[in-house]
């Protein structure tokens, strides 16, 4: 792919040589500055019990504040590139697609649970997935991110199907005073953030406002237009309030209120099937949590959350028969209320338990998804528990289970057993067997999308039609892991080998409509040898999928001023359809369906990061990402790529205030394809400045 000779470029090899040369020059002078190295962290995202990584029943990647700042990321999804096995599309007006081990043909991310301080980011409006453009989080407020690589429906319910991303924000007491920050760069990058933290009586309060804007992708291909600059800008804002209020030495209340909104541009010039238009969407969330410490490690939590989501983007399409259709994707609004109780107790030094109850009620109205303005409701109830028992100094057992009732698919039971064996000090083997389910979205279960022909009352082209007999997806996982701390070398390594089998993956396929639901506007309907009642896309439990491979991550701090991370994932995916006879136009469609699944994760992918303290307090970081060939979509692909991002920063003081200026470059080595090969993301670079006072 040719680059614009006038575009800004930077040779990463030169930067790498400069950093490498600085390693020796700075190692001695920074010997007393332990700026990075520490013991392996304690995590609570796996079993809901605070555990060192060596005793958690799962593989976890922790992204801390230093990594977040050094990454130079503008949006949260980009941070997950640092996690082995994760793939992320470049950001543009569409919400990012984030996949762990593939299975990524959906518009939103439905198989990786995302939490912010315990609240799920799954939305009924966005097809029980995560809309990453509406994630109500400001990167400067994150304390750490715990990413569990593997199923965890035991702890977080039916949609923690392949993994969990737990975002833990800073306590309000840690963000006192003012902070202002800004990014300005090419592609019309304009980001501004302002934050205030203070006291209100005995409560700590934090208020944050951030707005972001850019021009998105710079190149798009259309068969009739060739390459052109797309209608692709986006404007995003987040407002967030958090209050931490201690009642006494045992009780604490926490409240949070957030509002995220975005306006994104879509469409192609002179197009009748993808006309120019704006998509407006927003999400408002209110959460309250009570925490009581009972002593000796025992505690209880009670959390309530209320979330409102809304979207609108009306447009008109020109159909293949030259008649106009009206359409409104994604369009609609949803309400979600959730109440959760959790109890952690220690029976003895050898035995601990975390258990709880969760109830959730959701309601969705979307004419685009159901061809009616009626509300669709679902409710679910769940009891979960994790038992940790230390049989001896070297053997640790974790037993977990979740029993969930969902009004759409009824009962689901998910068990997990984990055994950790300490080979010798700081070296642990881990064996895990688990089962997980993913309940279908309301759209998958009840969807009925129609393009209504203008000027008629009852003629339409049905494009999506749900099967009422849909069952939840199931995945059975076996994994073996090794975690080693090489303290003498100031390094650690985490290896995970896995085999994940889903015998009934939900796959959306072209399907002949039944006589009870005919299509009056489909060009296939009534044709001799065609489909007498038309056809539509229908989700069915139709695919048997097996995913196997390994992944590992290495962390090393050779000097106090140097920190390195490297991760690698090898993934093989095998898929076959359990019933090919139900697929319309099977000869053309079956190969596309099978290929998209088996190629939805790259065979090999790598990620590396170096963080280096240079003379004069300058901080440098380089991020390297490499991925093999893969398919995000059924009818498109993305080529193998190597991506290099880098950042240079200088922290300094202005009187008693802390400040920092930085320069960030993303995709500095070459352009990068988006969800498909016809969408090209170009190099982006910007200056940033931050002041804390």
Rg of the chain, C-alpha, whole Å? 25
What's the pTM value of the predicted model, to 2 decimals?
A: 0.91
Express each pLDDT in 43-58 by its tens digit: 988 999 999 999 999 9
Phi then psi for 216, rounded to 5 degrees? 65, -145
Alpha-carbon distance 273 to 345, whole Å? 58
Q: What is the pLDDT of residue 93?
A: 63
Alpha-carbon distance 482 to 637, whole Å? 34
**DSSP single-letter state for residue 408:** T
Q: Over the range 221-260, which residues count as b (16 or more CB within 10 Å of their CB) and which as e?
A: eeeeeeeeebbbbbbbbbbbbbbbbeeeeeebebebbbbb
Q: CB neighbours (10 Å) of residue 410?
A: 11
Express each pLDDT in 489-511 by its tens digit: 999 999 999 999 999 999 999 99
Domain for residue 4, yes or no? Answer: no
Domain for residue 280, yes or no? Answer: yes
Whether residue 457 is predicted with pLDDT greater than 80 in this model: the reply is no
Q: Is 94 helix (H, G, I), strand (E, B) or coil?
A: coil
Would you state the structure tokens that stand for residue 169, as one six-digit string? 């924000």
Q: Over the range 627-659, which residues count as b (16 or more CB within 10 Å of their CB) and which as e?
A: bbebbbbbeebbeebebbbbbbbeeeeeeeeeb
* C-alpha dihedral sign at 653, 655, 658, 659: negative
Alpha-carbon distance 560 to 566, whole Å? 18
Would you state the structure tokens that stand for residue 541, as one six-digit string? 């439990």
Q: Is 220 helix (H, G, I), strand (E, B) or coil?
A: strand
604, containing H or E segment = strand 604-613
Domain count for the chain, please give it. Answer: 1
Mean pLDDT of the 317-336 span: 73
Maximal C-alpha separation, the chain: 82
Domain for residue 387, yes or no? Answer: yes
Express each pLDDT in 581-608 by its tens digit: 889 888 889 999 989 999 999 999 999 9
Please report, for the domain that includes residue 543, its CATH number. 2.40.170.20
Q: What is the pLDDT of residue 496?
A: 98
Q: What is the pLDDT of residue 357?
A: 98
Look up the domain containing 573 and give its range.
Answer: 12-692
Cα atoms in the 13 Å half-sphere on the side-chain side of 604: 5
Would you state the structure tokens that stand for residue 607, as one six-digit string? 């990620």
**DSSP single-letter state for residue 285:** E
Alpha-carbon distance 398 to 385, whole Å? 10
Domain for residue 579, yes or no? Answer: yes
Whether residue 13 is predicted with pLDDT greater than 60 in this model: the reply is no
**DSSP single-letter state for residue 583:** B
Whether residue 557 is predicted with pLDDT greater than 90 in this model: the reply is yes
Alpha-carbon distance 648 to 191, whole Å? 18
Q: What is the pLDDT of residue 429?
A: 97
Would you state the structure tokens that stand for residue 255, as one six-digit string? 């409240």
Confidence category of residue 523, pLDDT binned at 50, 70, 90: low
Please report, rounded to a whole number, the percentage of residues in the chain having pLDDT higher than 70.
90
Q: Is 600 helix (H, G, I), strand (E, B) or coil?
A: coil
* C-alpha dihedral sign at 504, 506, 512, 517: positive
Q: Which residues contact 67 (CB under 8 A, 6 or more apart)?
A: 79, 82, 565, 609, 611
Alpha-carbon distance 45 to 168, whole Å? 10
Domain for residue 597, yes or no? Answer: yes
Domain for residue 3, yes or no? Answer: no
The answer to whether 80 and 96 have CB atoms below 8 angstroms apart is no
Phi then psi for 330, rounded to 5 degrees? -75, -30
Strands 177-185 and 684-692: antiparallel
Q: What is the pLDDT of residue 8?
A: 36
Q: Is 545 helix (H, G, I), strand (E, B) or coil?
A: strand
Domain for residue 125, yes or no? Answer: yes
For the ranges 62-66, 326-330, 537-541, which has the lowest average pLDDT?
Answer: 326-330
Mean pLDDT of the 356-367 span: 97
**DSSP single-letter state for residue 13:** H
The answer to whether 633 and 42 have CB atoms below 8 angstroms apart is no
Alpha-carbon distance 628 to 640, whole Å? 4
Domain for residue 7, yes or no? Answer: no
Express each pLDDT in 619-635 by its tens digit: 999 999 999 999 988 88
Express each pLDDT in 162-177 by its tens digit: 999 999 999 999 999 9
Q: CB neighbours (10 Å) of residue 616?
A: 7
């Amino acid at each position: 792919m040719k680059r614009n000779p006038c575009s800004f470029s930077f040779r990463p090899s030169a930067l790498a040589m400069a950093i490498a040369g600085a390693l020796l020059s700075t190692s001695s002078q920074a010997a007393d500055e332990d700026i990075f190295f520490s013991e392996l962290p304690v995590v609570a995202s796996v079993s809901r019990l605070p555990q060192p990584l060596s005793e958690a029943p799962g593989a976890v990647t922790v992204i801390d504040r230093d990594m977040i700042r050094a990454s130079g990321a503008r949006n949260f999804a980009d941070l997950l590139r640092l996690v082995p096995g994760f793939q992320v599309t470049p950001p543009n007006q569409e919400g990012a697609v984030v996949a762990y081990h593939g299975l990524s043909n959906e518009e939103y991310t439905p198989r990786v649970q995302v939490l912010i301080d315990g609240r799920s980011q799954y939305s009924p409006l966005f097809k029980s997935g995560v809309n990453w453009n509406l994630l109500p989080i400001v990167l400067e407020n994150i304390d750490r991110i715990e990413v569990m690589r593997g199923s965890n429906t035991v702890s977080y319910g039916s949609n923690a199907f392949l993994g969990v991303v737990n975002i833990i924000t800073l306590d309000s007491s840690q963000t006192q005073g003012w902070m202002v920050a800004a990014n300005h760069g090419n592609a019309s990058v304009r980001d501004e953030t302002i934050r205030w933290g203070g006291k209100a009586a005995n409560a700590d309060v934090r208020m944050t406002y951030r707005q972001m804007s850019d021009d998105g992708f710079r190149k798009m291909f259309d068969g009739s237009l060739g390459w052109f600059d797309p209608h692709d800008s986006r404007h995003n804002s987040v407002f967030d309030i958090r209050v931490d209020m201690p009642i006494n030495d045992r009780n604490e209340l926490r409240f949070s209120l957030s509002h995220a909104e975005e306006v994104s541009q879509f469409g192609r010039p002179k197009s009748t099937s993808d006309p120019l238009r704006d998509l407006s969407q927003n999400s408002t969330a209110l959460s309250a949590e009570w925490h009581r410490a009972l002593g000796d490690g025992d505690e209880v939590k009670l959390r309530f959350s209320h979330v409102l989501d809304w979207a609108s983007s009306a447009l008109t399409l020109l159909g293949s028969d030259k008649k106009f259709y009206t359409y409104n994707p994604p369009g609609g609004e949803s309400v979600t209320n959730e109440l959760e109780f959790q109890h952690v107790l220690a029976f003895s030094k050898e035995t601990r338990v975390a258990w709880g109850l969760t109830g959730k009620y959701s309601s969705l109205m979307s004419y685009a998804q159901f061809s009616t303005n009626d509300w669709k409701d679902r409710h679910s109830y769940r009891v979960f528990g994790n038992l940790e028992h230390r049989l001896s100094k070297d053997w640790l057992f974790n037993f977990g289970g979740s029993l969930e009732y969902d009004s759409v698919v009824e009962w689901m039971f998910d068990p997990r057993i984990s055994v950790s064996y300490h080979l010798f000090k700081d070296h642990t083997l881990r064996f895990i067997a688990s089962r997980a389910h993913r309940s279908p979205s309301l759209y998958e279960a009840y969807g009925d999308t129609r393009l209504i022909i203008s000027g008629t009352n009852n003629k339409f082209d049905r494009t999506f039609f749900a099967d009422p007999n849909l069952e939840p997806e199931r995945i059975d996982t076996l994994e073996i892991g090794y975690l080693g701390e090489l303290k003498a070398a100031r390094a650690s390594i985490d290896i995970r080998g896995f085999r994940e089998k889903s015998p009934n993956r939900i796959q959306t396929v072209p399907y002949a409509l039944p006589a009870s639901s005919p299509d009056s506007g489909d060009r296939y309907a009534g044709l001799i040898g065609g489909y007498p009642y038309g056809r539509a896309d229908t989700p069915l439990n139709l695919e048997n999928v097996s995913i196997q491979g390994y992944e590992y991550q290495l962390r090393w701090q050779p000097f106090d001023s140097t920190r390195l991370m490297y991760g690698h994932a090898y993934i093989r995916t095998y898929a076959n359809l359990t019933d090919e006879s139900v697929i319309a136009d099977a000869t053309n469609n079956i190969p596309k369906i099978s290929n998209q699944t088996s190629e939805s994760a790259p065979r090999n992918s790598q990620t590396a990061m170096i963080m280096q303290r240079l003379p004069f307090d300058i901080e440098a970081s380089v991020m390297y990402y490499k991925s093999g060939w893969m398919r995000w979509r059924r009818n498109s692909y993305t080529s193998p790529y190597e991506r290099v991002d880098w950042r240079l920063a200088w922290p300094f003081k202005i009187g008693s205030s802390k400040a920092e200026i930085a320069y960030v470059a993303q995709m500095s080595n070459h352009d990068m394809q988006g969800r498909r090969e016809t969408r090209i993301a170009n190099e982006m670079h910007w200056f940033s400045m931050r002041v804390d006072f």
